[in-house]
Amino acid sequence: MTTATELTFLHRYEPATTPGRPPLLLLHGTGGDENDLVPLGEALSPGAALLSPRGKVLERGMPRFFRRLAEGVFDEEDVRRRAGELATFIREARAAYGLAQPIAVGFSNGANIAAAVLELHPDALAGAVLLRAMTPLAAPPTVDLAGKPILIVSGAADPIIPAADVGALAARLRKAGADVQHETLPAGHGLTQSDLALAKNWLERRT
């Protein structure tokens, strides 16, 4: 394990042990940290390099990647600023560790910041697995995501994310040219083994 603090985000980095697999950028949900999704990343793509930053925003002591005004109501100015910071960190980490363009794997708040990075800094990511994502911005700029692979996995019984909201996100990313696969599982907001199996299969098709 390598834990580093010299870049702009406190983060954990696990070098690749299997050549040819795209690195994964692991983005935790509210209250997680740089260790939270490492086991998920190891299960999704064994041997891939893992880059896992800790969100810089604290909400009642819980790390997040951007501020929110209420449940499901985001501070969009902060979303834009934090997405820029994360894109900068990705460039720094790629240079520091010799990484290819990563695929983001984000859960909840982490999925939302990944979606914001895609819409604001599309060159930062090779693709994304968005687990329990919402639309991060009401009116993002026009962006070219031509051919960029994106998996969105929703929970049919998720009490936090309206189906119409995530449907709008999927439609918006498709309109930008992304290759979007949107699946809805019989689950709530938490992750299940079905999420793991679906995301693992999706990633395996890209290695």
Does 3 score more than 70 pLDDT?
A: no
- Which architecture does CATH list for 2-204? 3-Layer(aba) Sandwich (3.40)
The answer to whether the beta carbons of residues 82 and 5 sit under 8 Å apart is: no
Residue 187 makes CB contacts below 8 A (sequence gap 6+) with 155, 156, 157, 158, 194, 195
Give the C-alpha separation, 79 to 162, whole Å. Answer: 20
What average pLDDT does the segment 85-89 reach? Answer: 98
Q: What pLDDT, in 10s, does the model give residues 8-43?
A: 999 999 999 999 999 999 999 999 999 999 999 999
Does 160 score more than 60 pLDDT?
A: yes
Up-side HSE of residue 75: CA atoms within 13 Å toward CB? 13
Burial of 69 (0-12, 13-18, 19+ CB in 10 A): exposed
**Per-domain residue ranges for the chain?**
2-204
Of residues 11 and 6, more confidently modeled: 11
Does 5 score more than 60 pLDDT?
A: no
Up-side HSE of residue 27: CA atoms within 13 Å toward CB? 34
Of residues 72 and 41, more confidently modeled: 41
> What percent of the chain shows pLDDT beyond 70?
98
Average pLDDT, the chain: 95
Does the annotation count 108 as an active-site position? Answer: yes
75, 121, 179, 189: the catalytic one is 189
Give the C-alpha separation, 163 to 197, whole Å. Answer: 22
Q: What pLDDT, in 10s, does the model give residues 114-149?
A: 999 999 999 999 999 999 999 999 999 999 999 999
pLDDT of residue 69: 86
Does 48 score more than 70 pLDDT?
A: yes
Give the C-alpha separation, 106 to 115, whole Å. Answer: 9
Does the annotation count 158 as an active-site position? Answer: yes
36, 158, 182, 195: the catalytic one is 158
The answer to whether the beta carbons of residues 126 and 150 sit under 8 Å apart is: no
45, 52, 108, 154: the catalytic one is 108
Task: Report the Cα 63 to chain-centroid distance in Å.
Answer: 15
What average pLDDT does the segment 156-185 reach? Answer: 97
What backbone torsions phi and psi does residue 33 show, to the nearest 5 degrees?
A: -150, -165
pLDDT of residue 186: 97
pLDDT of residue 62: 96
